[in-house]
Amino acid sequence: MQLTKKNLEERLNHVYDAIVIGGGAGGLSAGIYLQRYRLSSLIIDKGKARSFWMQELHNYLGLPPDTPGRTLLQQGKNHYGSLDGDFLNGYVEEVVDEGDTFAIRVKAGRQNSTYPVFRSKYLIAASGIIDILPPLDDMQNVYDYAGYNLHVCLICDGYEMIDKQCGLFVGSEGSIETAFPLSWFTPYITVFTQGRFEVSEEMRNKLREHGYRLVETPIKKFLGEHHQMTGVELADGSVVELEMGLISMGSRYHNTYLEALNLERDGGNLVTDKMGRTSHPRIFAIGDLKVGINQVVVAASDGALAATQIWRDIRRVSGARRWEENLVLPV
């Protein structure tokens, strides 16, 4: 059920089989599988998963290719609720490993916040990432286009960019490298650094050799209407016309609650086995937090795998149930 400040009290003495942090595609899929495995679960969601911002999911098997990400999330939340899973809107502040259980402290409610502590045997970290967007004075101007034709994922949206005039918005020299796989879809690439870092001579030469333009003047604003970006106006008043944009400025990981647990990482991502288990035997990581490609269908699969492994673990400890009425009594 949906937990609120009013009814969550009764869950504070319960030890859940698994608490899932994050109610995006991975977390919801995990929750659906957990509940169908007769395990008790709680999803704690801070809201606005990365897929919430996707205007159209073009590559998710089973859904029409213009389905908004939020429709998938709402369907998943309804599905999970129909299986009697608990769902709480809140922000996880701390996870303490108590040995057999985790104590998970949540900030619930933006005003007059309370800080309930929930307990579980297993933890699934499914809180994902969020893309860093170009920092402009008026961020609403960025939000007007991000997720429409100002994309953040080459795998998801490269197809939409085929042979289009494309702006690549980067935050570091490393992310300029995205231009080269992007050229698979379109060679008409203009790289925008906003002058935020120094571009090496080597990279300048490489861009020049490929014919890609480099613009270092800060961006004043994106131009366009009806969520269709048509170019950028620079600080010097000049305009660069574009048909598409790809933002490649890195991501923020929603994982501060994991910091004290010293899990094995590869860069910013958590290392897991094939079932999603991290270096901690009772913590699983799924979706964008783990090593792998960041795709909705992959996160959904990750959720199924992690829930299955947790079920196997718990089932093996509890052993098989007997049909009591049929037992032959010892003579």
196 scored as a contact of its own copies (CB under 8 A) = no
Query: Are the CB atoms for 257 and 94 separated by under 8 Å?
Result: yes
58 scored as a contact of its own copies (CB under 8 A) = yes
Element (H, E) at 206: helix 201-210
In whole angstroms, how close is the CB of 274 to its own copies at the nearest point? Answer: 7
10-29: which residues touch its own copies (CB under 8 A)? Answer: 25, 28-29
Report the C-alpha dihedral over residues 157, 130, 258, 102, rounded to 10 degrees: -90
75 scored as a contact of its own copies (CB under 8 A) = yes
65 scored as a contact of its own copies (CB under 8 A) = yes
266-305: which residues touch its own copies (CB under 8 A)? Answer: 274, 292-293, 295, 297-298, 300-305
In whole angstroms, how close is the CB of 246 to its own copies at the nearest point? Answer: 15
Q: How many residues does the chain have?
A: 331
Q: Label the pairing between strands 15-21 and 41-45.
A: parallel
Nearer CB in complex with its own copies: 115/184:
184
CA distance 5 to 68: 30
Closest among 246, 243, 237, 244 to 218, alpha carbons compared? 237
CA distance 272 to 219: 39
In whole angstroms, how close is the CB of 48 to its own copies at the nearest point? Answer: 18
325 scored as a contact of its own copies (CB under 8 A) = yes
Report angle CA 23, 72, 76 to the nearest 5 degrees: 50
159 scored as a contact of its own copies (CB under 8 A) = yes
114 scored as a contact of its own copies (CB under 8 A) = no
In whole angstroms, how close is the CB of 210 to its own copies at the nearest point? Answer: 5
In whole angstroms, how close is the CB of 272 to its own copies at the nearest point? Answer: 10
- Residue 177 CB contacts under 8 Å (≥ 6 apart), including other chains: none
Backbone angles phi, psi at 120, to 5 degrees: -150, 160
Q: Which residues bind its own copies (CB under 8 A)?
A: 25, 28-29, 32-33, 35-38, 58-65, 67, 72, 75-76, 79, 82-83, 155, 158-159, 162, 179-181, 183-185, 187-189, 208-213, 274, 292-293, 295, 297-298, 300-305, 308, 311, 315, 318, 320-328
